[in-house]
Chains A and B, each alone.
Chain A
Amino acid sequence: MSSDEDESMSEQEEQTKSGKEDNGSVLDYIMSLESVPSKLPPHLELLKTRVLCKIDAPQHTDTIQYSGAYAALGVDNSIRLDNFRQNFKVQVNRLTEDDIEFDMIGIDPALANAFRRILIAEVPTMAIERIYMANNTSVIQDEVLSHRLGLIPIGADPRLFEYPENAGNEKNEKNTIVFKLHVRCERQQPRITVKSNELKWLPNGSELPSEDIKPNSSSKPKTFTSFSCSQDSLPEFSGNPIAPRNLDIILAKLGPGQEIELEAHAVKGIGRTHAKWSPVATAWYRMLPEVVLLKEVEDELAEELKNKCPVGVFDIEDIGKGRKRATVARPRSCTLCRECIRGGKEWEDRVALRRVKDHFIFTVESTGALPPEVLFTEAVKILEEKCERVITELS
């Protein structure tokens, strides 16, 4: 057994690298011996792989990661890369412009959660960070308007930009996108609603002078940015100008005679600093629902069970002689409302609601800067980078 533990230690260290060939073959040999039980007994297997959702609380929610957890039974619990490779599967269920739903099977919740956390907080996007308010006579306060502008998703690929810190806080064409907003509601006109489509991209950088203009200086006045070239001359943007992703976001309302004139500078950042840089509206997963009928549910009870579920998990099948039996037809749609196991002990004994611990139904709702599938691969890249950093730090 001690060899097992050694194994697992080396395994853990070398998770990212490929396992040692000879070690693996020795283990395979041991596993193939008849006296070694390769499987857990079913009741333990259930607790290991499933969360039991009871009426008031889930049970056995934790994952058992320790390689020697079942050592006494002679079962190896270590994670092995080739096993993972074999079992790991990704299945895309739905993919639209803004969101994706896919199944991620055969992965530990800690890893699935890491992707979720990175998606929310660490994948960068562009967002408006500085506002230069030239004029604002509307009722909306400068700060509030700036805050609203900041939350607008910008349809620009953040991979094409640098972090502003890298350039020593110099604002150049590589790290800043400049927008202009100039709206005025003429007198004797009805009120107007300013929407995000009024934000106009300035590929040549800021137009506002940063200092008082000297009347007789012939040189171009200094502005808030120092672009060396126009952004639309760059090949990435020449075909598709940068604009807010949604053009119908209400920014302000103007009454007759009111005017807003401002310049907005968008920079690259991550969601941990401020939620405006988060590339996702939200990203989350749920474990695969598993609904099991522990007893045969027939006739009226079957009918009752079918009607109980508001999302239609159960169905009824005819078993002949005019008898009916309940079946689990659509377990995936279970929302854990627990209506089916409400109504006393007998129902709890009939139906079991479970969650599969290593099967995740992952949903990513993008704000639009990047397509959702790209976001996920970005997240994987970031995790990879982090792992590499750990390895380099350790070695």
Chain B
Amino acid sequence: MFSVGKQLPYPVVGDAGIDKQFLAAPIKSAVDKFQLLPEFLKVRGLVKQHLDSFNYFVKTEIKKIVRANDRIVASKHPNIYLRFKDVRIGEPSIMVDGSPEKITPQTCRLSDLTSLINKQGYSLDCAVKLYSVATWKYAAPILVNVEYIQGSPGQMTRVEKNDVVIGRMPIMLRSCCCVLYGKDEAELAKLGECPLDPGGYFVIKGTEKVLLIQEQLSKNRIIIDTDKKGNITASVTSSTEAIKSKTVVVMENEKIWLLLNQFPKKVPIMVVMKAMGMESDQEVVQMVGRDPRYSSLLLPSIEECAKSGVYTKEQALEYLESKVKKSMFITDSSEKEGRAYSVLRDVFLANVPVHQNNFRPKCIYVAVMMRRMMDAILNKDTMDDKDLFKTMISEAKMWIDKFLEKNNKTSRFDFSHVIPKPLLAVQWSACDNIEYISRDTITNGLERTLSSGNFDIKRFKMHRKGMTQVLTRLSFIGTMGHMTRVSPQFEKSRKVSGPRALQPSQWGMLCPCDTPEGEGCGLVKNLALMTHVTTDEEEGPLISLCYYLGVEDLELLSGEELHTPFSFLVIFNGLILGKHRRPQRFATSMRKLRRAGKIGEFVSIYVNEKQRCIYLASDGGRVCRPLVIADKGISRVKEHHMKELTDGVRTFDDFLRDGLIEYLDVNEENNALIALYEGDATAETTHIEIEPFTILGCAMGKQAMGNIAYNQLCRKDTLLYLLVYPQRPLLTTRTIELVGYDKLGAGQNATVAVMSYSGYDIEDAIVMNKSSLDRGFGRCIVMKKKAVTIQKYDNNTSDRILRPDRTADNAGHMQILDEDGLAAPGEIIRPNDIYINKQSPINTRTQIIGSAANLPDSAYRPSREKFSGPEGESCVVDRVILCSDKNNMMCINFLFRHTRRPELGDKFSSRHGQKGVCGTIVQQEDFPFSERGICPDLIMNPHGFPSRMTVGKMIELLGGKAGVSCGRFHYGSAFGERSGHADKVETISETLVKHGFSYSGKDFIYSGPLGVLY
């Protein structure tokens, strides 16, 4: 039936049955790649650089280190040896009366030490255990398989032993050795762990310690720079497993010199070349390049060499011998071949290996250095900017591995030093030399390093302070921010602006906004959302692959051939492999292999046209980020890929494996043309950003109060701030959802009036509504920890806790004490109240007669602990935790809780840094109200806006208002308008209008005291 006279609302289908609306709709071009982000974070996570580095260390690196010095030989008896066959990390445990017992991170956090009794008894179900172990940290044993010789020199037997503990390794939380690894939310909750906690830190002596990501100049790379006098220098910081050295070649007075620590004065470079067997000046000139400009620059150096009368290798070595620093102890080997020779072989450009006294690679390396210097003289453009990020490497690589390496060596020294002594004394009888392995050296060394943050490695002459920091637990996001912090190599006090400036190459790698104010400005940085820090990768296969792909070996090239036009040098991890005649083809094929997954995804291939080099890198510590590959500007990621991702068929790694996405490091980015949005891509575009806002980090509200973790009430922090009613922001961003800020919020949504009121709001002060405060706005909980130790003294006496005397004069202050002499949880404690009725013996020095337990009362003096807090503040005893500390003394921890409402002078801030103190608190009836009866929670002065230009805040004000009126969370992601991850101001305004507000967000309000419209 058709109803007559009624028209269809709009003609949907035309006569020919064509859906005109469908045809007229714009073609959906851009693929929404947002979904890749949570997938990426699922695979990599925000603190993945820490975890990857640690996992790499415990899985690979530690084995390498042990293999490097696996054989320990007693110095007097070469037949007696000990060999480490294998090493692995066990499960996190603690030794209880000689037997290992498994531990969880939460128990380590709670106890500075041992037995745990929670007086209140409801938040912790901990058994009363008395551990007798010294240090309480989240650590696992380092187990080795050893083989050694036992018995007297006459009859020696080879013994093999498995799983010998040589020390204890602190375990990074959520790493592959951690008990939390691979656990789901319910299992984590059972272990007392917050599922949102990122891990990536250590628990040492009950405190959480983060190893900061260190930033340092790239190693094994030639860096051209000018020194203080304006001379051009080429420097290489070499670093190998054996040695670390810095080689500088400098052009001074038109001559080229070498600066090396082992030579107190600079030496002419040509002498060094000659000492390395490069006797012919012609060959040197050929190696540098035949261009007459190079030769003329080199000429003064050659003349200098000739002037010194050095013509042959022997003469050169003799000359250098006179210049070399005399070392204190001369070993046999260096005596034989001459110290200068060994310096040239081992220290000078240590990253270039010398095989069978073949110095040719080193000569070529020096020639390349000189050539780059001359390029820099002839053409200033080729100068490297030291501050440029591409020559920097974020060293997330665990310093601990270096440290352990050193420690392993000390343990060897311990071993070889300790063994001979009993050998002499006991005649190497049945003594089982395995007993002599010192466990404490490694254990204590690691613990001390991590808890103090001082890394001293004498062998590398490295002294670093403040490498570890206590993890900030002010807010959840503050913790996240701390984990991604990159600490600088420069001293912060230096008044330089160069390294503080934002480098273009930091785009997408480091957050451009997140840096502290003051001395660390621009030096302390934070990783961006999608940054990944690489770990080392096997070099051997990659090198041979390069040769297969047509790299001509250095050995086969004459000096002349080195710099033939159209051929590029191939440099792999700072090592010159050879040259290639078709560089672009080589680079393309390497990249193809990488995209096909044949070589590691983090290998970077970078063609530098200016320097005529191809740089390959597979070393650890480079920062890189994933990008979508585009062929001639067309994205490889298609709609159906994303659908597969949302359906769960495809993972992030599949994208990598199928060659849709690849990681680019800072160098390789120079070869790419990256479009910000898919729509911007042109035919030259090689890559497309996954999401533009990932160039930022997560920098919001580091000091904001809120929740710190799901287990926040079971923790034992010295100072903890919690919000009673934390809320999710009405205007959120995608980043907030990605990092879990919406699950552990910090802050509250407030109804804000931006207007002038009462004069108590000048200079950014804010006026607050008393009724809002009455109803719980801004209410927070402050928890403070106080620890009391029951001391044991040398003369066997010890402190004691007494039952309170209810009849005494000060009974009033002892009211809150239980019969056991400790404050009862839940009691209100006031200033001067006693929370522990402790007594100490008067005599703690001299020995006492009789049993210490039977001391008369007169031998004790009271040492009660009084609660000190501001008058008028009432605190509550939240928890009492009994445990024993590392000296096996009882330690009683009191947690005091104070719930406070905002007061005059408290600081409040929006998310845009618009901070202000509370200037006055006003009754609700005096507050302005709108036509719909809305009364603000606080009033901000409008004068804070024009000069600060916080446009984001204006948008948040609109978005929040729209969000609360339409009941939907609004988004304000950075750069999100184009890809639909942020609401446009226009649409927000439309929503406001739809709900009867002004499009600008401005309301007419009535004065509270007067009752008229303002």
Q: Please say whether chains A and B are actual partners in one complex.
A: yes
Give the B-binding residues of A (Cβ under 8 A): 51, 53, 56, 58, 61-63, 109-110, 112-114, 116-117, 120-121, 133, 136-137, 139, 141-144, 147, 151, 257-258, 271-272, 274-276, 278, 282-287, 310-311, 335-339, 342, 355, 357, 363, 365
Asked whether B48 is an interface residue with its Cβ less than 8 Å from the other chain, the reply is: no
Beyond known contacts A147-B724, A311-B996, A337-B998: 20 more, CB 8 A cutoff: A58-B1004, A61-B1014, A113-B1010, A114-B1011, A117-B925, A133-B826, A141-B878, A143-B899, A144-B724, A144-B781, A271-B924, A275-B770, A275-B774, A275-B775, A282-B933, A285-B1006, A337-B992, A337-B996, A337-B999, A339-B998
Q: Does B161 contact A (CB under 8 A)?
A: no
In the complex, what distance in Å separates the CA atom of A276 from the CA atom of B924? 12
Q: Is the CB of B775 within 8 A of A310?
A: no
Q: A136-B826, A282-B935, A337-B997 are in contact. Are A53 and B899 (CB under 8 A)?
A: no
Which chain A positions have C-beta within 8 A of B724?
144, 147
| 14 sampled A-B residue pairs with Cβ under 8 A | A51-B1012, A58-B1013, A58-B1014, A109-B1011, A110-B1011, A133-B826, A141-B878, A142-B876, A144-B781, A147-B724, A278-B771, A278-B924, A282-B929, A282-B933
From DSSP, what is the main secondary structure of chain B's interface residues?
loop
Q: Is the CB of A335 within 8 A of B876?
A: no
Find out whether the CB atom of B771 lies under 8 angstroms from the CB atom of A275: yes
A336 near B931: Cβ-Cβ < 8 Å: yes
Complex contact B993–A339 (CB within 8 A): yes
Contact surface of B with A, Cβ cutoff 8 Å? 120-123, 713, 724, 770-772, 774-776, 779, 781, 826, 876, 878, 897, 899, 923-925, 929, 931-933, 935, 992-999, 1002-1004, 1006, 1008-1014
Does the CB pair A51–B1011 fall under 8 Å? no
Residue pair A112, B1011 in contact (C-beta under 8 Å): yes
Does B996 contact A310, Cβ atoms closer than 8 Å?
yes
List residues of chain A with CB within 8 A of the CB of B995: 310
- B994, A61: Cβ atoms under 8 Å? no
Q: Give every chain A residue within 8 A of B1014 (Cβ-Cβ).
A: 58, 61
Bound: A373/B932 CA distance, A = 19
Query: From B927, which residue of chain A is reached at the shortest CB distance?
Result: A120
Chain A residues closer than 8 Å to B1006, beta-carbon distance: 113, 284-286
Name A139's closest neighbour in chain B (CB-CB). Answer: B713
**For residue A147, which residues in chain B have a CB less than 8 angstroms away from its CB?**
724, 776, 779, 899
The complex places the Cα of A212 from the Cα of B370 at a distance, in Å, of: 93
Check if B997 sits within 8 Å of A342, measured CB to CB: no
Q: Which residue of B lies closest to A360 (CB)?
A: B1011
In whole angstroms, how far apart are the Cα atoms of A258 and B826 in the complex?
15
A63 & B993 in contact (Cβ 8 Å cutoff): no
Task: Please tell me if the beta carbons of A342 and B999 are within 8 angstroms of each other in the complex.
Answer: yes
Which residue on chain B has the smallest CB distance to residue A120? B925
Report yes or no: A109 in contact with B997, Cβ–Cβ below 8 A.
Answer: no
CB distance from A132 to the nearest CB of B (A): 12
Tell me whether B1013 and A275 are in contact (CB under 8 A): no
Q: How far is the CB of A61 from chain B (nearest CB, A)?
A: 4
Please report the C-alpha to C-alpha distance between residue A61 and residue B724 in the assembled complex, in whole angstroms.
Answer: 41
Which A residues are in CB contact (< 8 Å) with B935?
282, 284
Bound form: Cα–Cα A142–B898 in Å: 11
Give which listed residue, B713, B924, B931, contacts A275 with CB less than 8 A: B924
**Which of B772, B774, B995 has the most C-beta atoms of chain A within 10 angstroms of its own C-beta?**
B774
Q: In the assembled complex, how far is the CB of residue A202 from the closest CB belonging to chain B, in whole angstroms?
A: 23
User: Whole-angstrom distance between the alpha carbons of A18 and B121 in the complex?
Assistant: 72
Q: How far apart sit A139 and B124, CA to CA, in the bound complex (Å)?
A: 12
Q: Is B876 a contact of A286 with CB atoms below 8 Å?
A: no
In the complex the two chains form, is B876's CB within 8 Å of A143's CB?
yes
Q: 5 closest pairs, A vs B, by CB?
A: A113-B1011, A275-B774, A335-B996, A275-B771, A284-B933
Contact present for B999 and A121 (CB under 8 Å): no
**Which residues of A sit under 8 angstroms from B1004, Cβ to Cβ?**
53, 58, 336
CA distance A257 to B1013 in the complex (A): 56
Choose from A143, A258, A335, A355 the contact partner of B1013 (Cβ within 8 Å): A355
The winner among B123, B781, B1003, B1011 for most chain A CB atoms within 10 A is B1011
Residues in A neighbouring B998, C-beta threshold 8 A: 336-339
CB-nearest residue of chain B relative to A258?
A: B122
B898 to chain A, nearest CB (A): 9
With the chains together, A62 CA to B1011 CA distance in Å? 10
Bound form: Cα–Cα A222–B605 in Å: 86
Known: A143-B899, A278-B771, A311-B996. A120 touches B1013 (CB 8 A): no
Which residues of the partner chain A approach B876 to less than 8 Å between Cβ atoms?
Answer: 141-143
| Closest chain B residue, CB of each to CB of A121 | B925
- Which residue of chain B is the closest to A363 with respect to CB atoms? B933
| Bound form: Cα–Cα A109–B1008 in Å | 11
- Please name all residues of chain B whose beta carbon is closer than 8 Å to the beta carbon of A62 when the two chains form the complex: 1012
Find the A residue at minimum CB distance from B990: A310
For A141, give its contact among B122, B781, B1012 (CB under 8 Å).
Answer: B781
Whole-angstrom distance from the CB of A121 to the nearest CB of chain B? 5
Nearest CB in chain B to that of A112: its residue: B1011
Which of B770, B932, B1009, B1012 has most A Cβ within 10 Å? Answer: B1012
Bound form: Cα–Cα A62–B1013 in Å: 8
A278 vs chain B, min Cβ distance (A): 7
When C-beta atoms are compared, the residue in chain B nearest to A338 turns out to be: B998
Interface residue from B713, B923, B1011 paired with A121 (Cβ < 8 Å): B923
- Measured between alpha carbons, how far is A53 from B713 in the docked complex, in Å? 53
Instruction: List the B side residues contacting A53 at CB < 8 Å.
Output: 1004, 1013
A284 touching B929 by the CB < 8 A rule?
yes
The complex places the Cα of A121 from the Cα of B922 at a distance, in Å, of: 12
Residues in chain A near residue B826, CB distance under 8 A: 133, 136, 142
Chain B residue numbers with a CB within 8 Å of A339 are 993, 998-999
Q: Is the CB of B997 within 8 A of A61?
A: no
Q: How far is the CB of A97 from chain B (nearest CB, A)?
A: 18
Measured CB to CB, the closest approach of chain A to B556, in angstroms, equals: 74
**Bound form: Cα–Cα A125–B999 in Å:** 40
Task: State whether A310 and B994 are in contact (beta carbons under 8 Å apart), knowing that A275-B771, A335-B931 are contacts in the complex.
Answer: yes
- CA of A63 to CA of B1007 in the docked complex: distance in angstroms? 13
Which A residue's beta carbon lies closest to that of B714? A139
B87 to chain A, nearest CB (A): 44
**In the bound complex, what is the Cα–Cα distance between A355 and B929 (angstroms)?**
16
Q: Could you tell me the distance between the alpha carbons of A376 and B770 in the complex, rounded to whole angstroms? A: 23
What is the minimal beta-carbon distance from A286 to any residue of chain B, in angstroms?
A: 4
Residues in A with CB closer than 8 Å to B1003 are: 336
| Contact indicator B899/A51 (Cβ below 8 Å) | no
> Is A274 a contact partner of B929 (Cβ separation < 8 A)?
no
Contact among A58, A116, A139, A272 with B1011 in the assembled complex (CB-CB below 8 Å) = A116
> When chains A and B are docked, how far (Å) is the Cα of A212 from the Cα of B794?
43
B774:A144 contact, CB within 8 angstroms: no
Bound form: Cα–Cα A339–B998 in Å: 7
Pair A286/B931 contact, Cβ less than 8 Å = yes
B724's nearest neighbour on chain A, judged by CB, is A144
Nearest CB on A from B851, distance (A): 36
Chain B residues positioned under 8 Å from A121 (CB to CB)? 923-925
| B residues less than 8 Å from A137 (CB atoms) | 120-122
Cα A285 to Cα B1007 with chains together (Å): 11
Identify which of A109, A110, A116, A142 contacts B925 (C-beta below 8 A): A116
Chain A residues with CB under 8 A of B1009: 113
Minimum Cβ distance to chain B for residue A189 (Å) = 16
Q: CB-CB < 8 A to B923: which residues of A?
A: 121, 272
CA distance A133 to B1009 in the complex (A): 40
Complex contact A141–B899 (CB within 8 A): yes
| Smallest CB gap from B900: residue in A | A143
A47 CB to nearest chain B CB (Å):
14
Residues of B within 8 A of A114 (CB): 1011
Rounded to whole Å, the gap between the CB of B895 and the closest CB of chain A is 12
Contact partners of B713 in chain A: CB under 8 A = 139
Residue in B closest to A137 when the chains form the complex, CB atoms: B122
Q: Which residues of B contact A335 (CB under 8 A)?
A: 931-932, 996-997
Q: Do A274 and B924 form a contact, CB below 8 Å, given A136-B826, A339-B993?
A: no
Contact B775 A151 (CB under 8 A): yes
Chain B neighbourhood of A276, CB < 8 A: 774
A274 touches B774 (CB 8 A): yes
With a cutoff of 8 Å between Cβ atoms, the chain A residues found around residue B1012 in the complex are 51, 61-63, 109, 357
